[in-house]
Structure 1
Amino acid sequence: MEPQNSPLTTHVLDTACGLPAQGLCLRLSRLEDLAQQWTELRKSYTDPDGRCPGLLTPGQMKPGTYKLSFDTEAYWKKRGQESFYPYVEVVFTITKETQKFHVPLLLSPWSYTTYRGS
């Protein structure tokens, strides 16, 4: 069950077929300042709409550097598709824990695009 009203969400669209990327495994991590190491906060999978709506509870959100790691190789292999990128990592900075953040990923076997969504 995903946390409700999460301040951080993602959505993955399989642009090769024009449909949501269902069942894509992803991990959310935060960079710990002192050790400069990533701490995994959550592992999840995209739902039938390609969304992973609740990655953090509002209390977990704090300013810092975060990373979403998408296991694209396993996603494409399940579909019998060769791909170029075994995983996609999107690193971003949160400066205000009171804001909402949406990190979409547009994915094909040979390319990807991401941006700060709304």
Structure 2
Amino acid sequence: MMTAESSPLSTHVLNTSDGVPGAKMALSLHHLDSKLMIWSMIGVGITNEEGRCPDLISQEAFTPGMYKLRFETGSYWESLGQVSIYPYVEVVFTIRDPSQKFHLPLLMSRFSYSTYRGS
């Protein structure tokens, strides 16, 4: 099992409506085949009690290219007995230098979301 230090990509989900981490949210990581223009799933995960999912990909598998993180936000809100207009959120990003660490947080409410590259 990877440690947070060995994974070059991490995420952190924050439920800004309630001011709590987005715990127990399913997510998946995908890589785009630039020749076929097809997304391939690399892995899946579930955020921990802190809303983090640090072990998304190994350094060896993290190559230059286009990736996306898909967050299953609809299921998350349903598990809280709430409804969201977003059944899922996909964050698409490009990796040019895989030797760097990438942290992509998702800040969300039932009616909005934002993301940024953190450190």
TM-score w.r.t. structure 1 length? Answer: 0.97
User: 1:86 Cα shift?
Assistant: 0.6
Task: State whether structure 2 residue 88 is matched by structure 1 residue 87.
Answer: yes
SS in 1 for 2:105: strand
Q: Which residue of 2 aligns with 1:103?
A: 104
Percent identity over the alignment is 50
Q: Aligned partners of 2:65 and 2:90: how far apart in 1?
A: 16
Q: Which residue identity lines up with residue 101 of structure 1 in the other structure?
A: F
- Point out 4+ residue stretches in structure 1 off by more than 3 angstroms: none
Q: Aligned partners of 2:35 and 2:108: how far apart in 1?
A: 34
Q: Which residue identity lines up with residue 29 of structure 1 in the other structure?
A: H
Task: Provide, for residues 19-55 of structure 1, a one-character-per-residue CA deviation record: whole Å limited to 9, x for no partner.
Answer: 1011000000000011100000011000000000111
Comparing both structures, which one devotes a greater share of its residues to strand? Answer: 1
Q: Aligned partners of 1:73 and 1:65: how far apart in 2?
A: 24
Q: Which residue identity lines up with residue 21 of structure 2 in the other structure?
A: P
TM-score w.r.t. structure 2 length? Answer: 0.96
List alignment gaps of at least 5 residues for structure 2.
Answer: none
